[in-house]
Amino acid sequence: MQKIEIINISKSFHKTNNESQESLILDDISFEIQPGSLVNILGPSGCGKTTLLNIIAGFLNPTKGEIRFDGEVINGPNPKRTVIFQEYGLFDWKTVLGNIEFGLKAKGLPKNKRKEIAHHYLDLVHLTGSENKYPNELSGGMKQRAAIARALAVEPEGLLMDEPFGALDSQTRNILQDEILEIWQTTGKTILSITHNVDEAVYLSDRIIVFSNPPAKIILDININLPRPRFPEIRLESKFKDIYDSVWQILRKEALKSKFSKTIR
Ligand SMILES: Nc1ncnc2c1ncn2[C@@H]1O[C@H](COP(=O)(O)OP(=O)(O)OP(=O)(O)O)[C@@H](O)[C@H]1O
Ligand SMILES: [Mg+2]
Q: Which CATH architecture has domain 4-80+158-238?
A: 3-Layer(aba) Sandwich (3.40)
- Give the model confidence (pLDDT) of 129-147 as tens digits: 999 999 999 988 898 889 9
Q: What residue owns the CA closest to ligand 1's atom 2?
A: 13
pTM for the full predicted model: 0.90
* Interatomic CA distance for residues 246 and 265, integer angstroms: 29
Q: What residue owns the CA closest to ligand 1's atom 3?
A: 13
Instruction: Provide the residue ranges of all domains of the chain, joining segments of one domain with +.
Output: 4-80+158-238, 84-155
**Can you tell me which atom of ligand 1 is nearest the CA of 54?**
18
pLDDT band at residue 87 under the 50/70/90 scheme: low
Choose which residue among 11, 13, 200 to substitute to test ligand 1 binding: the one with the highest number of ligand atoms within 8 A of its C-beta. Answer: 13
Instruction: For residues 47-75, give the mean pLDDT.
Output: 93
pLDDT band at residue 264 under the 50/70/90 scheme: very low
Instruction: For residues 145-152, give the mean pLDDT.
Output: 88
Instruction: For residues 102-122, give the mean pLDDT.
Output: 92
Residue 242: is its pLDDT beyond 80?
A: yes
pLDDT top residue among 237 and 139: 237
Residue 69: is its pLDDT beyond 80?
A: yes
Residue 258: is its pLDDT beyond 90?
A: no
3-state SS of the chain? CCCEEEEEEEEEEEECCEEEEEEEEEEEEEEEECCCCEEEEECCCCCCHHHHHHHHHCCCCCCEEEEEECCEECCCCCCCEEEECCCCCCCCCCCHHHHHHHHHHHCCCCHHHHHHHHHHHHHHCCCCCCCCCCHHHCCHHHHHHHHHHHHHHCCCCEEEEECCCCCCCHHHHHHHHHHHHHHHHHHCCEEEEECCCHHHHHHHCCEEEEECCCCECEEEEEECCCCCCCCHHHHHCHHHHHHHHHHHHHHHHHHHHHHHHHHHC
Instruction: For residues 85-98, give the mean pLDDT.
Output: 85
> What per-residue confidence (pLDDT) applies to 88?
66
